[in-house]
Amino acid sequence: MRRLFVIALLLLVGCQQQPAPLYLPEGDNYPEKLSDWGMLQRSQGFIAPIAEALPYDLNTPLFTDYAHKLRTVWMPAGTSARYGEAHFDYPLGTVISKTFYYPKDAQGRLLQHEQDVRDPQRGLELARVQLIETRLLLKQKNGWVALPYVWDEQQQDARLEWAGDSRALSLLTAQGNTQTVDYQVPDANQCAGCHEESAGQGNNPLGPKARHLNKTFAYADGSHNQLLYWQQQGRLQALPVGLQGVPRNALWPTPRSSESLEHQARSYLDANCSHCHNPKGPGRTSGLLLDPATPFGISYGLCKQPVAAGKGSGDRLVDIHPGAPEKSVLLYRMESVDPSIMMPELGRSTVHAEGVEVLRRWVASLQGDC
């Protein structure tokens, strides 16, 4: 009898099914565990998006202390997003996820500059990565809701942490040095601080937009342009024929041969700054607008005096001084880790050396004087 009971128990465990994707168009009964959303699945030591969720990547991504991201979007069955050059109109119940992780070596050390280890067919091999957090954006009747989940040390599941979290991490650089990272998982209000592109309008998706998605991505069934693939899968409608007129940011970190240094720099500022610094964003009061639609001129920082003087400007007189990155407030703030000076204000505790280098080269290449 005992043997039969054990066999029955093993069969029951073996038959446990992946939870169905959670459709939650209203209400605040948010799961405490990430697994209850049913958006990611574990199998044979790997974690990957469920078949119904589309993984995606960005041309030039947001820098977050050298963390890699596994991005997915799930839409309820039978629904699709509608194309817009600035924003897509996503259906009610859409869940966008972004899982932050670091590759690690055989000794368990977190690697700063390792190439992405995602397998298009199987996902992330858990033995080769350290999962840190997963952020969800849920579209409900009253708007988008941001939900931060923090992974446990065993990488078994992540739990909802409204107040965020912090992790003291050590990253091994390509040169064999150790870089300390004060990694911050934002609380729900801080999420809104970045995702509120238009002041007072609540959260909005930042990554899955046309100019960020217009690139080739390695799916399980091969490499495809993401926008065309979404359309093929019935997840995007009204996409311009042949991608005619669809914008495209520069590819990071290795740009396409046709992409100028200016396009690389502006794509970087778009991904890292324009969610605040746009005509309707929280950073508009500074007068510095770094969105793609703003022409390069005084509004974009060229010879523009900063609104906030003193420590925040480093006694530099203009935001962007042509030919002189060392005289530009923009570079001063991006090279700082002082919370009262640094930009962006959230999402990093280290300097993105590679991003700063691109911006320095671009400013140094600019002609003229102030």
CA 227 – CA 20 distance, rounded (Å): 26
Distance between CA atoms of residues 327 and 332, nearest Å: 8
Q: Rounded to an integer, what is the distance from CA 169 to the centroid of its chain? A: 19
Tell me what pLDDT residue 92 has.
97
At CA 96, angle to CA 136 and CA 148, rounded to 5?
10
Q: Where are the domains of the chain?
A: 17-237, 259-365
In the chain, which ranges are continuous DSSP H helix? 2-14, 188-195, 210-213, 226-232, 261-273, 329-334, 353-365
Tell me the two tokens of residue 232.
């093929």
- d(Cα 346, Cα 319) in Å, to the nearest integer? 20
Q: Which phi and psi (to 5°) does residue 227 adopt?
A: -65, -45
pLDDT at res. 37: 98
Q: What is the pLDDT of residues 68-79, one digit of tens each?
A: 999 999 999 999
Pick the residue with more confidence: 196 or 236?
236
- Is a pLDDT exceeding 50 seen at residue 3? no
pTM: 0.91
Cross-sheet strand order for the sheet of 110-111: 110-111, 165-172, 178-185
**Bridge partner residues of 99 (DSSP):** 70, 134
* Structure confidence by residue, pLDDT tens digits, 311-367: 778 999 999 999 999 999 999 999 999 998 999 888 899 999 999 999 999 999 999
Q: What pLDDT is stored for residue 192 in this prediction? A: 60
